[in-house]
Structure formats: structure tokens, C-alpha cells
Amino acid sequence: MQARELRKGIEIIASVHWERRLFDALIPLPDGTSYNAYLVHGAERTALIDSTDPELAGELFDGLRQVGRLDLIVSQHAEQDHSGVLPELLARYPEATLLCSPKAESLLVSHLGVPAERLRTVADGERVDLGGKTLQFVSTPWVHWPETMCTYVPEDRCLFSCDFLGSHLATTALIGVDKGRVYEAAKRYYAEIMMPFRSIIQRNLDRIAALDIDLIAPSHGPAYDDPAFIIEAYRDWVSPRLKNEVVVPYISMHGSTARMVRHLVDALAGRGVAVQVFDLAVTDIGKLAMAMVDAATLVVATPTVHLGPHPAVAYAAQLANLLRPKVKYAAVMASYGWSSKAIEQVAGMIPNLKVKVLGTLLQQGQPNAETFAEIDRIAAEIAQAHHDDADVAG
């Protein structure tokens, strides 16, 4: 796509990947994505910040057609969707020096075969003068790799944030996309990519809060001309605050687990607790991840397959364990035909979740009055725990 002006002397070359529906062969992209590269033109030198995914390399090189010389290429993150075309960029622009954080150096060499002699590492806070425009590097590690950094241009109060604060959203709009739509896409992105790094993100937010920012330009999705919008959203997501809400991923083979889940939903709703239910046979796991961003409780419900949980439930439990949501309470319900170790196996799959287990329920065959009474008891425990917890919104 051709370069478009974002601020005077600052252009974006957005490679919009409308068709992409899966990232890392794992993360659903219902709205596609974009890989944004930025040109910063100083009076003396021109820099390119980030690049694009190799699949859309042509989009970037089209946008660079009018650019005769690139003095600096900034790699804020070594993952292939922003750095995969660096070897070709360096070959096309032999005068360019590649700037990256110290931790990125070995990653760029090992993952992409970037020639080490073309690299120069930059320190946190280091400034590079382009002539009337300055690149100031801000170390923001673990959003979401160890080497990630942001770049601040103080003359325009622009922060280039790469993955951090971004969204998977294919659009031709640069700024001012409907806030509800961007919030949803950014929250999905946070849930799938950033959530495991909550405490580090808090520190990174504090670091960028010290800057005077007028525009945040991530390398996925549209830019934010109201930086507080996305910064406050992130502050909320990483805070200890929880919703009075229960997330229930489940699957049912012959209906018993589904009946237990329906009863739980009624029992919780009747006690003023919101519930989000995900039938894992049809669930978009990105939606499940989003629901786990701020729910107080996770209840996993599964039938038994060869003694263990249904594989779809095992997958969801493993995903929750990887994403480490701030959920504080949990329960597990399982049904079975003749024998089951599903409850202990599910519990063993989520060691990263620092949860208090408020109940387990193992049901042979169809649920009965006793089962439903036990589900009522679990619902009451959950409602009481939420009520007594100062972090859970009333």
C-alpha cells in the first residue's frame, strides 16, 4: 500500500492482511490484521520503523517506491510479522543501519539471518537525531517478547509501540475507527498475546505515561489520537479489578454436562452473578480468552473420555494456563459413564492459575436432584466469594 501521511514528516505504510484468519497457527483473526511500518523523515536522515510480514512484502516495497534512501531501519520486535523482511530490506538499502534493542540482536541473527555487521544496538533512552526529528528508544520488554521496545518522536509526540497496545483489525482507516470496534479488537489482542505479562505491562505503562504523547501508532491496527483511551483500557485489564462474572468453558457429548452447566448458569444468575458460557465444540477461543481478561471465576465442565477430560476441554484448560488470566476462583464439574479422573486431570492442567477452588462435582450418568443441589451449593459459594472480595466489582 502507498505511504500515507500521519503527521508532517511521518508516514505509515500499512500492509493490510484482510484475508488472514489465524495467527501463529493458533489465534483466530476474525477481522484480519495489518502490519504497519512507519517512515520518519528528518532533514538529514530517514528512518523506517518496523516492516511487515514476509507474505505481504510487496505491500511494503510498493510503499517504499518513492523512498530513495533509508538511513536507519528500526526493529522494535524480532517476530517475523514485523521483521521477516529485514534481510531483503537490508539488501535493497545497503546504506541502512539496523537499530534494535540489545536483546533483539541475537534474535534477529538467529531467527532471520540478519547480517550482524549491519546491526547496531540502542540503549534504553538513547536518542538518534534525524534532523528536526528525534528517535528516542524506550525499553518495554515482554510485550510480548524479551526484546520489545517502543520509539518516541518528541517533536510530534508520537509513540510507535509495535505489538504493545495494538489490535488485529484490518482497515484502511488510520485513526478514528469506531471506538467500540477498536476496544473489542484491542482487548482480544491483549487477551491472546499480552495477558501473561500483566505485571511487566504495568511497569511499561508507567514508563510511557512519563512521555507527553499525542498519538500512539502500533504496528497492528489503527493508531490512537486519544492515547488515554487505550492506556486506560490496558490499566484496567492489568489491574487487580475483577468483574462479578463467571466464565464457563464446557463441552457435552450426550447432554449430561450441558444440563449441569445450564443449572449452574441459572443458579449463578439468580444470585446476581453474570455468566459467559462457551460451548467448546463451536467456540472462537479468542472470545473465550477475552472473557477471561476480567472474570473473577472460571468453571470448567467436561464429560469423560477414556478417564480424562474431553480433549477440547483439555485444550481450553491448557490455553487458560498459558494465558494466566487474573481469575481468582475456580470450580470443575465432570460427568462420566463408568469411571473418571477428569477432575484431577483438569486441575493438574492449570497450575499457573492461582485460584481458590470453590467446588468440584463428579457426576455419573444423568444429573439428578442431588447433583443440582450440589451445583446450587457451588453457585452460592461463588456468589459469596465474589461478594466478600474487594477486587470484585459489585
Closest CA to 100 of 324, 91, 111, 321: 111
Shorter beta-carbon distance to ligand FEO: residue 27 or 301: 27
Per-position x/- string for 188-227, each x denoting binding to ligand FEO as judged by CB under 6 A, each - no binding: --------------------------------x-------
Q: Binding of ligand FEO at residue 82 (CB under 6 A)? A: yes
Shorter beta-carbon distance to ligand FEO: residue 77 or 263: 77
Q: How many CB atoms lie within 10 A of CB 134?
A: 17
**Angle between helical axes of 369-388 and 256-270 (0-180°, round to 10):** 40
Q: How many CB atoms lie within 10 A of CB 169?
A: 24
| Piece of the chain touching ligand FEO by CB under 6 A; list 62-70, 77-85, 318-326, 350-358 | 77-85
Q: Which of residues 132-171 bind ligand FEO (CB under 6 A)?
A: 144, 163
Q: Binding of ligand FEO at residue 79 (CB under 6 A)? A: yes
For residues 254 and 294, is the Cβ–Cβ distance under 8 A?
no
Closest CA to 139 of 194, 102, 97: 102
Number of helices (H) and strands (E) in the chain: give both, helices first. 12, 21
Q: Binding of ligand FEO at residue 310 (CB under 6 A)? A: no
Shorter beta-carbon distance to ligand FEO: residue 137 or 164: 164
- Quote the least distance from Cβ 80 to ligand FEO, whole Å: 8
Give the separation between CA 35 and CA 20, rounded to whole angstroms: 12
**Residue with nearest beta carbon to ligand FEO:** 79
Q: Binding of ligand FEO at residue 31 (CB under 6 A)? A: no
In this chain, which of 11, 31, 59, 81 binds ligand FEO, going by CB under 6 A? 81
The helix/strand/coil state of 138 is strand
* Cell numbers found for residue 106: 541475537
Cell 483466530 sits on residue = 28
- Quote the least distance from Cβ 20 to ligand FEO, whole Å: 12
Within a 13 Å sphere around the CA of 339, how many CA atoms are in the beta-carbon half?
A: 2
- Quote the least distance from Cβ 89 to ligand FEO, whole Å: 17
For residues 297 and 331, is the Cβ–Cβ distance under 8 A?
yes
- Quote the least distance from Cβ 130 to ligand FEO, whole Å: 25
Residues lying near ligand FEO in the complex (CB under 6 A) are found at: 77, 79, 81-82, 144, 163, 220
